[in-house]
Amino acid sequence: MHDAPRSPIDPGDDHAPATPAAAARRFDVWSALRFLVCAFGLLSLAYWGYLTWPYPFPALFFIVGAPLFAALVWFFFRSPNSPIETDVVGKTIVEVALVVAAGATWISLGHPAVGLVFVVVAAVSGIVAARRETA
């Protein structure tokens, strides 16, 4: 019965707002680089936990816990769909902290070149993403 008159406050599927933001999302080289930077950062934290701590208990805690904590912090404060509204400065602080943490893992493992390259690539990726968000 779609032809029946409806109240303006009556919930219905034909009054659902369109989401142009979801339709406007596009996949390009910068999005792919951004995904790779995030994935490499999480894998870096897990690898650090694997190599740094003795295996049975502390290692498993850090192999799973460090990337999980970083992903949760990113989701709550930096994600485009985050439940906590954060301003640009807060998002920048969170992202810099996560990138520095992932870069520091490589420095602590004795590979400073990998950490430096990661930080530079992540910084460029973050700057491009921030410019796109504010445009």
Buried b (16+ CB within 10 A) or exposed e, 20-45: eeeeeeeeeeeeebbeebbebbbebb
DSSP letter assigned to residue 56: I
Tokens of 107: 């420095």
Residue-wise pLDDT for 58-109, tens only, equals 889 999 999 999 999 999 998 888 899 888 899 899 999 999 999 999 999 9
Q: For the chain, what percent of residues have pLDDT higher than 90?
A: 55
Band of the pLDDT at 121, cuts 50, 70, 90? Answer: very high
Mean pLDDT of the chain: 85
